[in-house]
Amino acid sequence: MKCIFCGSDQSKVIDKRAVKGSGEIRRRRECLKCHRRFTTYERVGEIEFYVIKRDGKRQVFDLVKLRSGIAKSLEKRPLVDQVDGLTARIERKLRAKGKNEVSTKLIGQLVLLELKKIDKVAYLRFASVYRHFEDTDDFARELQSLGQIIKI
């Protein structure tokens, strides 16, 4: 491991801890050359998988992009702090499929299922983009289906 300060590859581990909930190992290191300390994180290398877009194009799955979409739907909602946990659950479900390709349709459905459980407003926000709502009738239909679930 190279020192972030001087570039030396000589360091020793001072402390090692598991990071709760992420499966990562946090290591506190000290450079043997400049004696400065820095932190590294170790995690199991993930196998890349691809997303098949609506137009048939393939692209590498991007967790940041997934997180961004979820964060937008939860923006200014009381559950905004749950974005990381929600994103991690969806990624685990996708990886559990054991496939090297998933469709955007599957990803969207998983996001909608998770959002419906925790926040109806965030669910509607995400659904309006994901399902390409064009007018208020689209919202009304979705609200009506939600009404059957939440008894408006």
Boundaries of every domain in the chain: 11-42, 50-150
pTM for this predicted structure: 0.62
- HSE-CB at 5 with a 13 A cutoff on CA atoms is 13
**Are 3 and 36 spatial neighbours (Cβ–Cβ below 8 Å)?**
yes
**Are 41 and 34 spatial neighbours (Cβ–Cβ below 8 Å)?**
no
- The pLDDT assigned to 5 comes to 95
Contacts of 69 (CB under 8 A, 6+ apart): 111, 126, 129
Per-residue pLDDT of the chain (152 residues; tens, 9 = 90+): 899 999 999 999 999 998 876 678 999 999 999 999 999 988 777 778 899 998 999 999 998 899 999 999 888 888 777 888 888 889 889 988 888 899 998 998 899 899 988 888 888 888 787 777 777 787 777 777 776 544 44
3-state SS class at 11: strand
- The pLDDT assigned to 59 comes to 94
- The pLDDT assigned to 150 comes to 44
- The pLDDT assigned to 147 comes to 65
In the sheet with 11-18, reading across from the earlier edge strand, the strands are 11-18, 25-31, 37-42
Contacts 24+ apart (CB under 8 A), 106-111: 107/51, 107/66, 111/66, 111/69, 111/70
Give the residue among 28, 31, 30 at the shortest CA–CA distance from 40.
28
Handedness of CA 13, 17, 18, 24 (dihedral sign): negative
